[in-house]
Amino acid sequence: MTLLLVKHPCYQLKKMYKVRTIYCDIDGCLIPLDKEEIHPKLIKYLKRINTLSEENTEFPKIGLCTGRDVQFVRTIFNNINTKITAVCENGGILYNNKSGVVLNDKIDEILLQNMQETKRKIEKYLIQKNIDYYIEPNKKTMISFRPNKKIDLIKLFNIIKQNLGGYNISLSASAVDINFMHINKYNGLKEALKIEKININSICYIGDSSSDILPIKKAGYSGVPNNALDEVKKSAKYISPHSNGKGVLDIFQNYLHIMLKP
């Protein structure tokens, strides 16, 4: 079935062009907590919007800002036909098709070695406390601990935060993320926007977790799905009544004044 972008009844050209770029988190936004893949229909919508942005340079592009590793992001990057720089590992890495993988210039080999030592210490402590967990693979500049039981996520966050200093520790929809103190999504987003020559006042940022709060506050426009943390909702300019992918599409409709029809 052909995908069409239909003008919303309250559509106004000037309103639509206020948002020039959309940066969206992945987990808790494009992907529900209990899934590992974006719904095929949502991928088609995102790809269609990015294709339209190539046909009309004034039409907003969609980019990614996430804690996920480059390998995971690259697949989505290509599937939705985005061309703008993606923020990976909460700002530790930038990725685009031209430059490939670009490590944050504030990270060196010594810091990476320190991160691995920290990882071993936390693992040892969690094993001693009989806390069942696993670590997300393929990440180079951060560590993401996931509890094997969803109910233990907050507990795991508090344990790690109480026993680990000197790092930026945040809570995502599915994991406890550990980054270097100077690494976060906002700083990564600023670097990506600098590469793309985009003003942050013209972007819409969509997120759901504590690591998204600063980008949401700084972006000219912002939205959160209904499953976002309460503290994140307080910072957003628009709260969708829908969760995950449906919430993301609703945010698109709210800011772009279009209706997405299959």
Mind listing the pLDDT tens digit for each residue in 83-140?
Answer: 999 999 999 999 998 788 888 888 889 999 999 999 999 999 989 988 889 899 999 9
Mind listing the pLDDT tens digit for each residue in 3-59?
Answer: 444 444 433 334 445 788 999 999 999 999 878 889 898 999 899 889 988 888 778
**CA–CA separation, 79 and 233 (whole Å):** 29
Q: Which residues contact 224 (CB under 8 A, 6 or more apart)?
A: 206, 207, 208, 212, 216, 232, 233, 236, 238, 239, 240, 247, 251
**CA–CA separation, 72 and 161 (whole Å):** 27
Residue type, 179: N
Q: 253 falls in which pLDDT band (50, 70, 90)?
A: confident
In the block, residue with structure tokens 């100077």: 182
Q: What is the pTM of this model?
A: 0.88
Give the SS3 label for residue 112: helix
Which domains are delineated in the chain? 4-103+183-261 (3.40.50.1000), 109-180 (3.30.1360)
Mind listing the pLDDT tens digit for each residue in 166-186?
Answer: 999 998 888 899 999 989 999
Q: 258 falls in which pLDDT band (50, 70, 90)?
A: low
pLDDT of residue 211: 94
Mind listing the pLDDT tens digit for each residue in 47-78?
Answer: 988 998 888 877 889 999 999 999 999 999 99
